[in-house]
């Protein structure tokens, strides 16, 4: 079958072996895949990755209880037997594989295999292009599952890219009054009702804030220089959520965390069911975020396009 393969800094479409699902897995014929920041980092050598990337997908199950249905799939495949897996948390299984990221071939291919328990049926009224947003929206919705959101409380999201916009929607759905700090004022139209977009707030030449009004801040830029600039905006006793990793180390003075008793919280993957429900509601402007799409044969070009400044979402059509 055809697949996008990353190897030694190169991205090529090659013929690879079709996956053979294990007894607890289902084969999925891929229809559409989204390019995300992790894919771009892997293409540049992050984690020493080599293989088939991609984890934001929608496809059709072939076999199993969802046979013939359109599906999305949670990307962490746990062992199924350890204490964490038995407790329903394969996302932190020590032996897990991660679709398109760690020891499991990904979705930029004609087919993939995932544990059957990872798959969820896509509602009929959610098109393929919207379903591709399930994984990043689920990651955004993980924030209110980790942090208690006080209705009407101000929250600051750093980054007006793909993930930052989805985080703004997740926090607004939970009742927060959202401010998005970014560089693209035209993206204000992508925000939920009541949210605002400001520019210049977290730039290197920005003055210190006159008042620390945010009890919750989310770092969604993936840039190592943003977290130190975000910290002065968080009031004592507040929480900073890290939604992205960075390709280079972050330098941060930890004293304010201690003095002001600020919580620094990591946040990764979330549950897919709430994300599918929110997509079905029509309140997330996914279509306005799609900048371009390419066939699988042009997947290397899709990576290049997604890396261009100002581009939000690029899709790869596999079917």
Closest CA to 269 of 246, 243, 295: 243
Q: What is the pLDDT of residues 214-233, one digit of tens each?
A: 999 999 998 888 999 999 99
Give Cβ neighbours of residue 188 (< 8 Å, ≥ 6 apart).
196, 197
| Helix segments in 81-133, DSSP class H | 83-86, 128-131
Q: Tell me how far apart the alpha carbons of residues 58 and 33 are, in angstroms, rounded to a whole number.
A: 7
φ and ψ at 318, to 5 degrees? -105, -35
Closest CA to 215 of 194, 236, 197: 236
Give Cβ neighbours of residue 276 (< 8 Å, ≥ 6 apart).
72, 120, 122, 123, 126, 131, 134
Give Cβ neighbours of residue 70 (< 8 Å, ≥ 6 apart).
31, 58, 59, 60, 121, 122, 128, 131
Report the Cα 179 to chain-centroid distance in Å: 20
Q: Output the pLDDT for position 133.
A: 98
Q: Which domains does the chain have, with CATH numbers?
A: 2-133+284-317 (3.90.180.10), 140-266 (3.40.50.720)
Say if residues 177 and 155 touch (Cβ distance below 8 Å).
yes
Q: What is the pLDDT of residues 70-98, one digit of tens each?
A: 999 999 999 988 999 998 888 899 999 99
Average pLDDT of the segment spanning 189-217: 94
Report field, pTM of the whole predicted structure over 0.85: yes
């Amino acid at each position: 079958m055809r697949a996008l393969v990353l190897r030694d800094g190169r991205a090529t479409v090659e013929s690879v072996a079709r996956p053979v699902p294990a007894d607890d897995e289902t084969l999925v014929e891929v229809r559409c895949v989204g390019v995300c920041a992790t894919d771009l980092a892997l293409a540049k050598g992050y984690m020493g990755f080599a293989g088939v990337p991609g984890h934001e997908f929608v496809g059709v199950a072939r076999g199993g209880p969802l046979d013939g249905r359109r599906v999305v799939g949670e990307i962490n495949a746990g062992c199924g037997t350890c204490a964490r897996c038995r407790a329903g948390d394969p996302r932190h299984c020590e032996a897990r594989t991660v679709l398109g990221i760690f020891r499991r071939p990904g979705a930029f291919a004609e087919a993939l295999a995932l544990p059957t328990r990872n798959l969820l049926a896509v509602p009929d009224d959610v098109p393929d292009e919207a379903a591709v947003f399930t994984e990043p929206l689920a990651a955004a919705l993980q924030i209110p599952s980790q942090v208690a959101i006080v209705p009407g409380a101000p929250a600051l999201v750093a980054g007006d890219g793909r993930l930052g916009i989805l985080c703004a929607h997740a926090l607004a759905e939970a009742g927060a009054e959202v401010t998005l700090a970014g560089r693209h004022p035209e993206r204000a139209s992508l925000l939920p009702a009541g949210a605002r977009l400001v520019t210049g707030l977290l730039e290197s030449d920005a003055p210190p804030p006159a008042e620390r009004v945010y009890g919750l801040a989310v770092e969604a830029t993936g840039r190592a220089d943003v977290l130190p600039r975000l910290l002065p905006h968080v009031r004592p006793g507040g929480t900073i959520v890290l939604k992205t990793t960075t390709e280079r180390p972050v330098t941060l003075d930890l004293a304010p965390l201690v003095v002001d008793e600020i919580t620094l919280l990591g946040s990764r993957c979330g549950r897919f069911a709430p994300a599918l429900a929110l997509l079905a509601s029509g309140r997330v402007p996914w279509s306005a975020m799609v900048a371009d799409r390419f066939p699988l044969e042009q997947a290397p070009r899709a990576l290049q396009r997604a890396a261009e400044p100002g581009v939000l979402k690029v899709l790869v059509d596999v079917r």
